[in-house]
Amino acid sequence: MNKSLRYIAILAILPLFTAGLGTDYFTDAEALKSQGVGSSKYGSSTNVCGLQLCSEIPGGKAAWKAQQEPTPEATVTEEIDEMEDTHEEAVTEADLGSVLRLSRANVPATIPLHQGYYNGEDVYFIITDSSDPTHAEIITKNQGWQVELAPLLKNAPDAALSTTYMFTNGIEGDGVHGFQGEVFTSTPAQAEMYSALTSHVHVTWNEGVSSRVLDSEEMIMTAADNGQITLTEIDVVLNMPQIIWPEGQIMVKEDKTLTDETPYGGGQVLDIDTEEMNVTFIAHRGWGPDGRTIYYIVTDATPSGPAEMMGVVSAPTSASLIANSAAVDLYQFRNGITGTGPLGFQPGIAAGAPGDVNYSPMWRIFMIGWNTPENAQLLETIDDMNAYREAGLIDIGIARPMDSDHIVNCPFIDPFQ
């Protein structure tokens, strides 16, 4: 495939994505712009020559300009001549970096399902993150799959939370604490109330009372009024995205052939198996703040346009996190080097990653734009981003699809566990 055809193929998802975002997606909002992690060797200087300060190069900026690399066409010619001289296979222009090819850019991630209740009917959900290390450890052990510690979730406002009841004794089952399944107070069918972030109330059967399954909030409240159970609010927030609920389920992707160029549109789930009790998500590759490889899944988002485009749950309550520390900055690219990011350009950079004190699965999206896209270079760290912004080579603005606050629930996971 020649360069132009490959470019067109990789950008096939761009019209689909931008159609759901609206014309104000790239509105600038300096007041919310992240300051990043760490520091840059460029400091506050904008006198940058390529990847160095001009002062570090003998002869300064003038000498640097005189010694610039040849044009891509010249580079291709030189590489081909050199390989012909050594009888090696020649490279083409498309092989020299016009497209960023990450290996395993999209991989399947199989995650354990849990069963709970809403108004007497079944709910199937996953648990990916906990604000509390004890709950993270307990759930990780019980489900045999890593729950990430995200202390920032404790800062989430009440408007961004739903309530879930967890049982600490009574009927044995597959609940978090080894008893009956959790009871939810909303599902995605109640969009204005639903949140994957849940605050918790422990339900404990009192002594001398015969326990039974309580499968709705109404039954729980009745049992509490009758003195049969004790309710205790717990200062823990879990990320518990619902996969199947009484009136629907998360979209399953029709084309289950997963490649490094699989587009974001059309769903984030490859399979839901309620017999084996697992769900297979697409895990997307990107970069952590220091350049480490990360993978993330997408479960829900606000506003509705991006949610529908990606095939995930619309969660309007998440908008209340836009200026809250429970959400962390994630930077995506709207032009530059083509690749496997959501807009068809290089993958994004997150301001935090699992193990960091500032990690959260809730992401406030910013867009990076190159002022001269044809001169774009690969950025892999927050320091890279800050340096190029200070040099005036890129602009960064908060994403405002549909002229609305934009938050995406993207738990970072290990898809190979």
What is the reported pLDDT for 92? 44
Q: What is the pLDDT of residue 64?
A: 58
Task: Decide if 385 contacts 396 (C-beta within 8 A).
Answer: yes
Rounded to 5 degrees, what are φ and ψ at 138? -60, -50
Question: Quick one: pLDDT at residue 103?
Answer: 86
Each residue's pLDDT, cut to its tens digit, for the chain (417 residues) gives 444 444 333 344 443 444 444 434 433 333 333 333 333 333 333 455 554 556 656 666 666 566 654 444 444 344 434 434 444 444 344 433 457 778 899 999 999 999 999 999 999 999 999 999 999 999 999 999 999 999 999 999 999 999 999 999 999 999 999 999 999 999 999 999 999 999 999 999 999 999 999 999 999 999 999 999 999 999 999 999 999 999 899 999 999 999 988 888 899 999 999 999 999 999 999 999 999 999 999 999 999 999 999 999 999 999 999 999 999 999 999 999 999 899 999 999 999 999 999 999 999 999 999 999 999 999 999 999 999 999 999 999 999 999 999 999 999 999 999
Of the candidates 102, 144, 134, 146, which has an alpha carbon nearest to the alpha carbon of residue 355?
A: 146
Judged on CB neighbours under 10 Å (0-12, 13-18, 19+), 142 is middle
Rg of the chain on CA atoms, in Å: 24
Q: Is the dihedral of CA 57, 61, 63, 66 positive or negative?
A: positive
- Beta carbons of 392 and 299 less than 8 angstroms apart: no
Q: Which amino acid is at 122?
A: D
Domain spans of the chain, in order of start: 10-40+284-413, 107-245
Alpha-carbon distances, residue 133 vs 47, 146, 150, 235, 328 (angstroms): 45, 12, 9, 12, 19
State pTM to two decimals. Answer: 0.78
Which pLDDT tens digit goes with each residue over 182-230?
999 999 999 999 999 999 999 999 999 999 999 999 999 999 999 999 9
Which pLDDT score, from 0 to 100, does residue 153 have? 98
Q: What are the φ and ψ backbone dihedral angles of 148, each rounded to 5 degrees?
A: -80, 145
